[in-house]
Amino acid sequence: MIKNNQSDQENIEQLQKITKKLSRQIIEITTRAGSGHPSSSLSAIEIMVALYLGGIMNYRPDEPGWPDRDRFILSKGHAAPGLYAVLAEAGYFDPEMLLTLREIGSPLEGHPNMRVLPGVEASTGSLGQGLSIGLGHALAARVDGRDFQVYVMIGDGETNQGQVWEAAMTAAKYRVSNLTAILDYNKFQQTGSVNHVMPTLEPLVEKWMAFGWHTTEINGHVFDDIFSAIRNAQATDNRPHIIIAHTLKGHGLSPFEKDDVNRKHGKPLTEEEKAQALEELEAYSYDQKITSFEQRPNPNIEPPERRQ
Amino acid sequence: MDIGKKIGLTYGPPTRNAFGNALKEVGAQNQNLVVVDGDVGNSTRTQYFRDEFPDRFFNVGIAESNLIGTASGLWASGKDVLAASFACFLLCNAYDQIRMSIAFPQANIKLMGSHSGISIGEDGPSQMAIEDIALATALPNFTVIVPADAPSTKAATHAMFDREGPVYLRTGRPKVPVLYDENLDFNIGEAIQVRDGSDISIIACGLMVAIALEAAHTLSEEGIDARVIDMHTVKPLDTDAIVKAATDTGAIVTAEEHVLEGGLGAGVAHVVARHKPVPMGFVGIDNTYAESGKPEELLAKYGLMPEDIVQKVRGTLKKK
Ligand SMILES: Cc1ncc(C[n+]2csc(CCOP(=O)(O)OP(=O)(O)O)c2C)c(N)n1
Ligand SMILES: [Mg+2]
């Protein structure tokens, strides 16, 4: 449950500071590892910070299997560096361990592995599967009479997968109100922009509504937006909720922005690019609201006329 | 990687690159060829084809079952079709579609799965296909090819389009040693003996052929004379080459970048048991998923290095 102090200005400034620190870690550990997905991690970072460190989720790092914990499933598992940075900050493991990302013997694998790293709720990395797993958790809460929330982060490209829509349909059938999906709408997937690969993802809000979901559309880099969306999600009875979060893949940092094909998907920054990105990150001010909200792929198709 | 360097092998491009280039050549010769991608064309190298023939290229999104179904429809309406993705997502995510829309109707569709085995390295187990050979060989009517280097991948790519019926071609991510020259004689279903020997035969596929060659070199220093066979076609297996190896050398060790169940070793054992029983040893991944790490570290940890083959050969020879 949401704690009432979290949208305090003071709290938000603290979260912004933490976000910057974790963003730095994401960039540093992927460059150090020589591989990984920093841009995919950075688009989702404020949302994960808000959930774990902004007082939204209930969890116990010293008891990762606590049955009443809220669950977060990173369905777009390649954003693992972001999840790891957040889990370390949340107290699941020593942040020093972040430096072992992708090394042999390290539980910080290229994609999250629930068998080796406490705090990871699902083994992901094959896109499309997380929302169904989240649905399973949400139904288990009902069967066991428990009161926990389930959050599932999915990619915009990931919603190409049929399984996402299978889960969407089923979650609405069972009216699971403790399931919240968050769609990281960063407008890029692997081989190109969403506009290029799957422009017919739009109209997106209407699709989820048609599947029986409550929707909130936000700027995913703005904490106020995130908190009010979560409040909306928790206020909805009888239905699953999706937060469609407009974000920037690579958080608007120029070394990522320069790649207009896929925002350096799956590529760490070079040492030189890293220096540039860290400098921009340092100078970044949350007062300059990120303006990605209006960028929508153009489906180039007219919605069909509704028959009366 | 350093595998093979000490026996003088030099490194060439990854087999996925060789595939991508050959696919482009086939596309230039055959205007009827279309390619279907699941938003990973930059990884599988079908991008080379896309850049050249954009009108005959379809990216159906991150949706492997959709990929296979679309390929099947294109085939049924008369197109020659290649569909590609990471080997794990292709075979595992879309297995029923492959079964119902390709294998069962005996569709003339070619599949290419890249990023096979654990030598992909740091991306980790979720991206590593270690079950794909078992899945593909289990399908009636399928041909399964696991080439060892760039030249043989190029040859295999051309050869599979000359073959009627479904084919699965398995390629890898890293640069690998070159074993053949460009105009090698490559025929689907005909193994290539890359080293003669009389004491034991090592039958391998993919990257493991180079590793077997290095093992054979080490063994020769101990006075063990090992034959090495590149069994690039895992289905249908070259029964004659296997029976001859069993007869000539009296012992066989297999090596593959795949789980021990249902892969090359299981297939060879089947032939050996039926036609010419001899002692056998098996090198492969033993009932486990791997982890992230550097390719060579992983090959060592999961028992796929030349030393592992050497040990397996020693043990197998004791049973002769
Ligand atoms: C089933 C499956 N197919 C393909 C891939 C390869 N892949 C990894 S990330 C990615 C793109 C994901 O795009 P999106 O969901 O938009 O995530 P983003 O990186 O933009 O956050 C792809 C195709 C995969 N991981 N899983
Ligand atoms: Mg995206």
Residue B61: give its domain's CATH number. 3.40.50.970
For residues B111 and B167, state if they share a domain: yes
For residues B160 and B86, state if they share a domain: yes
- Is residue A131 within 8 A of residue A77, CB to CB? The reply is no
For residues B231 and B123, state if they share a domain: no
Q: Give the number of domains in chain A.
A: 1
Please report the atom of ligand 1 found closest to the CA of residue A77.
Answer: 25
- Is residue A101 within 8 A of residue A108, CB to CB? The reply is yes
The CA distance from A19 to the nearest CA of chain B, in Å, is 25
> What ipTM describes this predicted complex?
0.96
Residue A305 lies in a domain: no
Phi/psi-derived region of residue A79, left when phi > 0, alpha when psi is between -120 and 50, beta in every other case: alpha
Q: d(Cα B235, Cα B238) in Å, to the nearest integer?
A: 8
How high is the pLDDT of residue A236? 81
Q: d(Cα B263, Cα A172) in Å, to the nearest integer?
A: 42
How high is the pLDDT of residue A56? 96
Residue A244 lies in a domain: yes
Residue B220 lies in a domain: yes
How high is the pLDDT of residue A298? 61
* Cis peptide bond N-terminal to B236, omega within 30: yes
Sites in chain A below the pLDDT cut of 70: 1-7, 288-308
- Is residue A269 within 8 A of residue A31, CB to CB? The reply is yes
Residue B99 lies in a domain: yes
Phi, psi of A266 (to 5 degrees): 70, 20
Q: Which amino acid appears at position A189 of this protein? A: Q
Distances (CA, A) of A114 to A107, A122, A178, B117: 9, 5, 22, 21
Q: d(Cα A226, Cα A48) in Å, to the nearest integer?
A: 10
For residues B229 and B136, state if they share a domain: no
Residue A162: which of B40, B65, B298 has the nearest Cβ?
B65
For residues B170 and B201, state if they share a domain: no
Residue A141: give its domain's CATH number. 3.40.50.970
Q: Which letter does DSSP use for residue A62 in this model? A: T
Q: d(Cα A252, Cα A244) in Å, to the nearest integer?
A: 18
| Residue from A35, A124, A127 to probe the interface with B (highest B Cβ count within 10 Å) | A127
Please report the atom of ligand 1 found closest to the CA of residue A128.
Answer: 1
Residue B187 lies in a domain: no
For residues B313 and B219, state if they share a domain: yes
Residue A127: which of B47, B62, B294 has the nearest Cβ?
B62
Residue B153 lies in a domain: yes
**Pocket of ligand 1 contains residue A55 by CB under 6 Å:** no
How high is the pLDDT of residue A1? 47
Give the 3-state secondary structure of residue A53.
helix
- Is residue A104 within 8 A of residue B294, CB to CB? The reply is yes
Residue A198: which of B37, B61, B88 has the nearest Cβ?
B61
How high is the pLDDT of residue B145? 99
For residues B204 and B311, state if they share a domain: yes
Domain range for B26 is 8-177
Q: Which letter does DSSP use for residue A302 in this model? A: P
In the residue annotation, B214 being an active-site residue is answered as no
- Is residue B139 within 8 A of residue B99, CB to CB? The reply is yes
Q: How many CB atoms lie within 10 A of CB B166?
A: 25
For residues B204 and B66, state if they share a domain: no
If you search the block for the tokens 């090819």, which residue do you land on?
B145
- Residues of chain A with Cβ-Cβ distance to B298 below 8 Å are 104
If you search the block for the tokens 């709720």, which residue do you land on?
A121
Domain range for A112 is 8-297
Closest-CA residue to A75 (of A138, A136, A124): A124
Edge-to-edge order in the sheet of strand B109-114: B57-59, B33-37, B80-86, B109-114, B167-170, B143-145, B233-235
Using the beta-carbon criterion (under 8 Å), do A104 and B292 form an inter-chain contact? yes
Q: d(Cα B168, Cα B234) in Å, to the nearest integer?
A: 10
- Is residue A56 within 8 A of residue A62, CB to CB? The reply is no
* Cis peptide bond N-terminal to A81, omega within 30: no
How high is the pLDDT of residue A286? 87
Q: Give the number of domains in chain B.
A: 2
Instruction: Write b or e for each residue in A271-285: b if 16 or more Cβ atoms lie within 10 A of its Cβ, otherwise e.
Output: eebbebbbeebeebe
Residue A258 lies in a domain: yes
- Is residue A102 within 8 A of residue B124, CB to CB? The reply is yes
For residues B215 and B98, state if they share a domain: no
Task: Name the token pair of B275.
Answer: 């036609």
- pLDDT mean for each 10 residues of chain B (320 residues): 96 98 98 98 98 98 98 98 98 98 98 98 98 98 98 98 98 98 97 98 98 98 98 98 98 98 98 98 98 98 98 97
Task: Name the token pair of A9.
Answer: 């200005």
Residue B227 lies in a domain: yes
- pLDDT tens-digit map of A241-290: 999 999 999 999 999 999 999 999 999 999 999 999 999 999 998 876 55
| Residue from A161, A165, A195 to probe the interface with B (highest B Cβ count within 10 Å) | A161
For residues B131 and B238, state if they share a domain: no
Task: Name the token pair of A174.
Answer: 């069972």
Closest-CA residue to B130 (of B83, B174, B170): B170
Element (H, E) at B248: helix B239-249
Quickly list DSSP for B266-287. HHHHHHHHHH----EEEEEE-S
Q: How many CB atoms lie within 10 A of CB B224?
A: 18
Closest-CA residue to A31 (of A91, A89, A99): A99
- Residues of chain A with Cβ-Cβ distance to B42 below 8 Å are 190-191, 262
Q: Which amino acid appears at position A199 of this protein? A: P
- Is residue B204 within 8 A of residue B254, CB to CB? The reply is yes
- pLDDT tens-digit map of B1-18: 999 999 999 999 999 999
Q: d(Cα A82, Cα A258) in Å, to the nearest integer?
A: 21
If you search the block for the tokens 């007062």, which residue do you land on?
A287
Contacts of A56 (CB under 8 A, 6+ apart): A2, A6, A50, A70, A227, A230
For residue B37, list its beta bridge partners: B59, B84
Element (H, E) at B143: strand B143-145
For residues B165 and B210, state if they share a domain: no
For residues B222 and B138, state if they share a domain: no
Residue A97's Cβ-count burial label (10 Å; 0-12, 13-18, 19+) is middle
How far the first Cα of chain A sits from its last, in Å, is 43
Residues in chain B: 320
Task: Name the token pair of A202.
Answer: 């739009």
